Amino acid sequence: MAKQLWNKGFDPDAAIENYTVGRDRELDLRLARYDVEGSMAHIRMLNKIGLLGDDELARLLPALSDIAGAIERGEFTIDEGVEDVHSQVEFMLTARLGDIGKKIHSGRSRNDQVLVDLKLFFRDELKRLANAVDRLFGRLISLSEEHRDKLMPGYTHLQVAMPSSFGLWFGAYAEALTDDMQMVLAAYRITNQNPLGSAAGYGSSFPLDREMTTRLLGFDRPHYNVVAAQMSRGKTERAIAAAIAAVASTLGHMAHDICMWMCGNFGFVSFPDELTTGSSIMPHKKNPDVFEIMRGKCNRLQSIPGELAILTANLPLGYNRDLQLMKDILFPATSELVESLEMADFMLRHIRVKDNILDDPRYDYIFTVEEVNRLVLSGVPFRDAYRRVGEAVADGSYRPDRTVCHTHTGSIGNPANDAIKAKMAGLMSEI
């Protein structure tokens, strides 16, 4: 007989079970430690309100600790015929302790049980994501300082425009990550609320102490309204997906820049040979495959908010099995993004930046705005200065002065990296 917590004496058709369970057994292994953590908090609360005796709690807690140990050692499995991680843990306790094991479900539904597992899991995943973002941020700030005075072309419409610098380029992506961290922090705050005690979505006639489980599980606060707690399934995932997409957008954009800057037509940056790939026919090729794959993965990750929005758009109030499919989408996404962030950090550790790029005559016209500004500072009206420099360009008499003097906040000479670092430090302190 198959083992389901809802079993009433009959087995579902095998095809139905396989179709509805899907990849749950595989994905739920990532939830196992959190299921045990949630159960330990829940039974402590049941003991406090008198639904579980002291002697029963004293037997259940070590048994759950043993299961937690097996999970940490990689020895925990979900048996064939067992529907999910919640069932596996309860059946293991019942096999070991008898009827006491059946008591851990009092005052809970699988609805709030899976919700608390997911909240705990995603809370840790968001911390892991935030730490990976912060490490890449630190790398970018360090490179911005190291290459602060190395000039490079700035572009608009992919046409040479004005002087920029590698200090600005690295620092720009660092500060962009602080905006993305705002999204990660928002998702973390939405996630870090306790749904336990909402049961199937309408509460319980047991006098559950939800404040106690909130403290034990380290949540900021409960999802107070039990219906709202169940409605958070889907909303939480969509907030996380938005954060993932924000980080992926910045990382993908940076990867594209690096692919361009590595191109022979630019040649602004390079990497050691062993960090590039070659061609099967062209001996000279050093391809930016890492950054192309990174760009592709990040583009794909940016589709996740739309996928989750469509999946959850027309669902009625309360739990619906469609929500199970979100695990298939979001569980791999967090890992893939963290992996890409770590790879970006690794690659940037070895980046080589070309010196004296703007000495090339092809960039002579990049200094026209500097010349216009010098004339304005000497008292020439802006439109007259603009026309004078434009005429010099047109008749071939323009000669660039390659002196660049930008001093305002956030400019070439004053990239404001300390202020940007303070922004990120403030955000990280809240996660």
Domain of 60, CATH number, reads 1.10.275.10
Check which CATH number belongs to the domain holding 186 and give it. Answer: 1.20.200.10
What pLDDT score was predicted for residue 277? 77
**What is the torsional sign of CA 29, 30, 31, 37?**
positive
Task: Note the pLDDT of residue 53.
Answer: 96
* CA 342/CA 58 separation, integer angstroms: 43
Q: Rounded CA gap, 319 and 118, in Å? A: 14
Whether residue 326 contacts residue 308, with contact meaning beta carbons closer than 8 Å, is answered with yes
Same domain, 192 and 295: yes
Question: How many structural domains is the chain composed of?
Answer: 3
> Which residue range(s) make up the domain with 263?
111-148+165-359+419-428
Same domain, 193 and 334: yes
For tokens 């705050």, name the residue.
189
| Amino acid, res. 307 | E
For residue 52, being part of any structural domain is answered with yes
For residue 88, is it within any domain?
yes
Beta bridge partners of 352: 270
Instruction: State the Cα torsion 358-362-366-372 to the nearest 10°.
Output: 120
In this structure, are 365 and 341 located in the same domain? Answer: no
Query: What is the C-alpha separation between 349 and 344, in angstroms, rounded?
Result: 9
Do 353 and 390 belong to one domain? no
**Token pair for 269:** 């940056």
Query: Does residue 142 belong to any structural domain of this protein?
Result: yes
Examine residue 401 and state whether it is found in any structural domain, yes or no: no
Both tokens of 108, joined, read 């809970």
269 lies in the same domain as 369: no
- Cα separation, 363 vs 120, whole angstroms: 54
pLDDT for residue 134 = 98
Q: Is the dihedral of CA 356, 421, 137, 424 positive or negative?
A: negative
Confirm if 197 and 112 have CB atoms less than 8 A apart: yes
Residue 244 included in any domain: yes
Residues in the chain with pLDDT values less than 70: 1-14, 16-24, 278-280, 283, 285
**262 and 222 in a common domain:** yes
> Are 223 and 327 within one domain?
yes
Whether 322 and 250 map to the same domain: the answer is yes
> ∠43-227-100 over CA atoms, to 5°?
20
**What number of other Cβ atoms are within 10 A of residue 103's Cβ?**
19
Q: Which residues contact 336 (CB under 8 A, 6 or more apart)?
A: 297, 301
| Contact between residue 363 and residue 62 where contact means Cβ atoms under 8 Å apart | no
The SS3 assignment for 151 reads strand
Q: Which amino acid is at 260?
A: M
Residue 7 lies in a domain: no
Contact partners, residue 168, CB within 8 Å, separation at least 6: 144, 411, 412, 415
CA distances from 170 to 51, 261, 266, 399 (A): 58, 13, 17, 30
Cβ contact 202:226 at 8 Å: yes
Asked whether residue 345 falls in the same domain as residue 231, the answer is: yes
One DSSP character per residue, 265-321 reads TT--EE--GGGSB--SS-TT--B-HHHHHHHHHHHHHTTHHHHHHHHHTTPPSS--G
Same domain, yes or no: 341 and 365: no
192 belongs to a structural domain? yes
Residues 83 and 96 in one domain: yes
101 is a domain residue: yes
My answer on whether 331 and 227 are in the same domain is yes
pLDDT (0 to 100) of residue 317: 82
